[in-house]
Structure 1
Amino acid sequence: MITGSALLGLFGIGSSSSTTSLGPSETLALYKSSVASTDKTEASIRKEPTFIRDVAALKAAIAKAKTPDDLLKDTRVAPLLLQGLGLGDQASYTGLARKALQSKLTDTKSLANVLTDTRWKTAAKTLDFAASGLTKLKDSKTLDSIIDGMVDYRRLTAISEKSQAVSDALYISTLPDTVPDVYSVLGDAVMRRVATTLAGLPDELAVLPVESQAASLKARFDVSQFGDAKKRTALIQRYLVTATQGNVTMPSYLSALSGGFSFTA
């Protein structure tokens, strides 16, 4: 039986929204500067010796592996693959990764299909391990997208060390103009954190049946905000202030709210 604390960890939930004592104005400023420096930061990451070695190790392991399971059992490169798939926070769940990523998506009861965290299903579809083995991963387009994901993981991880809220906001800013359903929001660790923070719902919501979670969230939050560019911009601003409002005194917080911050993601 999975305990409540383990379940929270599995969903990437339970840590504070802000990893530092940045107040709303500082958080908003960090978000704006992070958006402006995205290209420069990504280019710098690609030149880092550690990143170059990691990419080389991943490529070598893919070339050497006979089966997807061989690759997923490699403790050196499996975490790199998960980073590139947007699952870097799940690297410690090795058994889960091996089973979920090799799920047969045509089987509605397979692990990737039943996990609430929909990133596993997306990753399994990207890799197509169950149907095509390592063939799709060895395709240059798939591998390049995973390497891009590794870059993004490192960029957002570095930002999250200053402010988890800003890292979350940057992720939200890249969402497509497609309205997700409430279950998709609950199944995405970042959208979930943003939505529940703005809805004033506790982390412990995750231990309830998913239907109860959905009902609670729908009653307090409009998920359509994620699927509209203008609404996302307003959503991000509210989240950055709400997630950090406890880090300042009341006068500073009111000043941040009335300061007329504006930015474009």
Structure 2
Amino acid sequence: MSVSLAGLPSNLSTLFSAISGTGSTANSAASLVSIAQGSVTAATTGASSENPIVALQVAQRNQTQDIKNEALQPAVQRQIAAFTKAVNSATSVKQLLSNPTVLNVLLTANGLGSEAGYPALAQKALMSNPSDPNSLANQLSGTNSQWLSTAQTYQFATKGLAIIQQPSAISTITNGYAEVLWRQSLDAQTPGLSNALYFIQNAKNFTSAVQILGDSVMRSVVTTALGIPQQIAYQPLSAQEQSITSGLNISDLQNPKFIQSFADRYLAVEQSKAQTSTGSSSNLESLAVQAQGLLA
């Protein structure tokens, strides 16, 4: 496992050296106890005191059933029903993508929910030909690769409604919509949990720093966990790549254990940031106790 701990607060750096297995198990456990004894104070009101590592474990364990429960919520059911009806009755791509509900469900399910407020842009991007290097989907992929991925998936420009009107496509979209809503609901109690789940599920698909930088969630998780400031976005692409690869061995993203520990690290940093922003101190005692279960 190759990952730099530079940029982390000293207590988190020590904690994640222990979690990731640096040194013996006994020494790692001792480090966790030392952190707990030397750094713990009660979290004050205003930031979640829930252990982020435990919250992630619970979310992973209950994910399938929780997504089903989310899909059964009345508001979600109404959105899914309206989406399904509109897709099945549509006679043109333009008509379909002009429907606000359809656009919201489709974009949300494909990781573009934040773009739903720009319907004209979304319609043009999704209707552009992904095979054309000058298409809008390709142009936008420099900042968010999901535009190109979504245009390639449904191929509106060349196949019209043929793909999206398939029952399997409708099911995939509506299930994805419910999953994203479920993940987002988790962030209220555990900042960053939605991103952590996305990272765990998708990290293995990323084989270069450029790909990571082109995915908004992956970029956020990796830069946050590595302590890279958000201002990196204003640097040349080569400098951004270097910032990623100097702290992360991309090949480690093929290792499920590494992915899990990296997601844990991201969540701990997110919680530390949230608590700092509200003037509360780090509640590491519970985190340390639970983290012992991650030691090999």
- Which band: TM-score by shorter chain? 0.7 to 0.9
Matched, 1:192 2:219: yes
Change (3 A) 1:90 1:261: farther
Q: How does 1:153-192 map to 2 (within 5 A)?
A: 153-175=180-202, 177-192=204-219
Q: Distance in 2 between matches of 1:138 and 1:64?
A: 9
Q: Distance in 2 between matches of 1:108 and 1:138?
A: 27
Name 1:216's counterpart in structure 2: 243
Deviations 1:58-104 (A, max 9, x none): 12211332221222222232111111222212211222211221121
> How far has the Cα of 1:177 moved from its partner?
3.5
Q: Distance in 1 between matches of 2:152 and 2:200?
A: 23
Q: Distance in 1 between matches of 2:175 and 2:252?
A: 27
Which aligned segments of 4 or more residues in structure 1 are displaced greater than 4 angstroms?
A: none
- Sequence identity of aligned pairs in percent? 25
**What's the TM-score once normalised by structure 1's chain length?**
0.82
> How far has the Cα of 1:254 moved from its partner?
7.1
Deviations 1:121-179 (A, max 9, x none): 11111111011001100011111111111111111111122223211111112126344
Gaps (5+ residues) in structure 2? 1-45
Amino acid at match of 1:124: A
Matched, 1:112 2:112: no
- Count of aligned pairs: 243
C-alpha contact 2:52 2:287 (8 A) present in aligned 1: no
**What's the TM-score once normalised by structure 2's chain length?**
0.74
Q: Distance in 1 between matches of 2:218 and 2:137?
A: 19
Q: How does 1:1-265 map to 2 (within 5 A)?
A: 21-23=47-49, 26-114=51-139, 115-116=141-142, 117-175=144-202, 177-246=204-273, 247=275, 249=281, 252-253=283-284, 256-257=287-288, 260-262=291-293
Gaps (5+ residues) in structure 1? 1-19
Instruction: Judge which range, 115-124 or 68-77, deviates more.
Output: 68-77
Change (3 A) 1:239 1:225: farther
> How far has the Cα of 1:186 moved from its partner?
0.7
Change (3 A) 1:176 1:26: closer
Amino acid at match of 2:287: A
